[in-house]
Amino acid sequence: MCSPRIVRAAHEAADNPRLSRRAWLGAASAGALAAVSAIGSVQAAPNISGRVVDLTHVLTPELPVWPGNPPFISVPVAWHDHGGFGQNALAFWEHTGTHIDAPLHRMRDAAAVDRIPADDLVAPLVVVDIESKASTDPDAVLTISDIEEWESRHGRLPDRAFIAMHSGWEHRLATPGAFLNLDAEGRPHAPGFDTAAAEFLVTERSIVGAGVDTLSLDPGASREFGAHTAFLGAGRYGVEMLANLARVPVSGATVVIGAPKHAGGTGGPCRVLALT
């Protein structure tokens, strides 16, 4: 239930990435921010049962976003003391927090998030660990050699698998600025998929998607975005800013991706669960 003023303000904010947080909050408090439909994120509980691991970061205003994007904002617009129900207005760009990249995110006229087949959102989970090299090289990439080494130990990648890069990058969230890791020119530095590895996975293996524990499928400093182009251009999807990959086995688990389903979406925050 959105008034024309709410819709207009949301579009104006989306068109102006320099809009201040105060302006966003002011618009929201005036009822001018849309209540955006998304799957909620809660703090991951300890995996007592050994069956389910939450791979999702909690959406907060403090969670890092891609440079230039506004932070997540949540503003109360209804209160239990007035009408009996609580409700928040949410404001965020689609690629915020733990989120999915639909093919449309990179490729014009490709599939939007609501067109990703549901069957592709439940898949065998493969975790390739590059934490050792990422700890000394912030521009480290997951290569074909890393994939081949994984297969030498665990067998060929399962059919229709979801492959996740584990770089251990989430440990940097405890240190302000370390997750984005911006250089003097404002360019982020973080691990990602090598372009050749992404092309190998979509041509030589039958993956449904790929994920990273950083903000981008590509290494952060990339300007060619070859991994995005390879994965999304082949109709696969990506999931960025995964959490807790160290808590799941490198093979044998199943991933369930609760993707949003808004018409024409290029992606959106999602709840990602690993069934071990």
- Structural domain span for residue 119: 52-60+94-275
pTM metric for this prediction: 0.83
E strand or H helix at 237: strand 237-240
For residue 204, tell me if it sits in a domain: yes
Encoded tokens for 150: 């994984």
Find, among 35, 10, 9, 34, the residue nearest to 87 by Cα.
35
In angstroms, what CA-CA distances link 10 with 24, 25, 33, 46? Answer: 9, 12, 6, 37
For residue 8, tell me if it sits in a domain: no
For residue 201, tell me if it sits in a domain: yes
Beta strands across the sheet bearing 209-212: 52-54, 271-275, 253-258, 122-129, 162-166, 209-212, 237-240, 99-101, 267-269
For residue 34, tell me if it sits in a domain: no
What is the distance between the alpha carbons of residues 178 and 253, in angstroms, rounded to a whole number? Answer: 30
CB 168 within 8 A of CB 268: no
The total of structural domains in the chain comes to 1
Whichever domain contains 140, its CATH number is 3.50.30.50
For residue 186, tell me if it sits in a domain: yes
Residue with tokens 């912030």: 138
For residue 12, tell me if it sits in a domain: no
pLDDT tens track, the chain, 276 positions: 444 343 344 444 444 444 444 444 444 444 433 333 333 333 444 444 568 999 999 999 999 999 999 999 999 999 999 999 999 999 999 999 999 999 999 999 999 999 999 999 999 999 999 999 999 999 999 999 999 999 999 999 999 999 999 999 999 999 999 999 999 999 999 999 999 999 999 999 999 999 999 999 999 999 999 999 999 999 999 999 999 999 999 999 999 999 999 999 999 999 999 999
E strand or H helix at 179: none
For residue 20, tell me if it sits in a domain: no
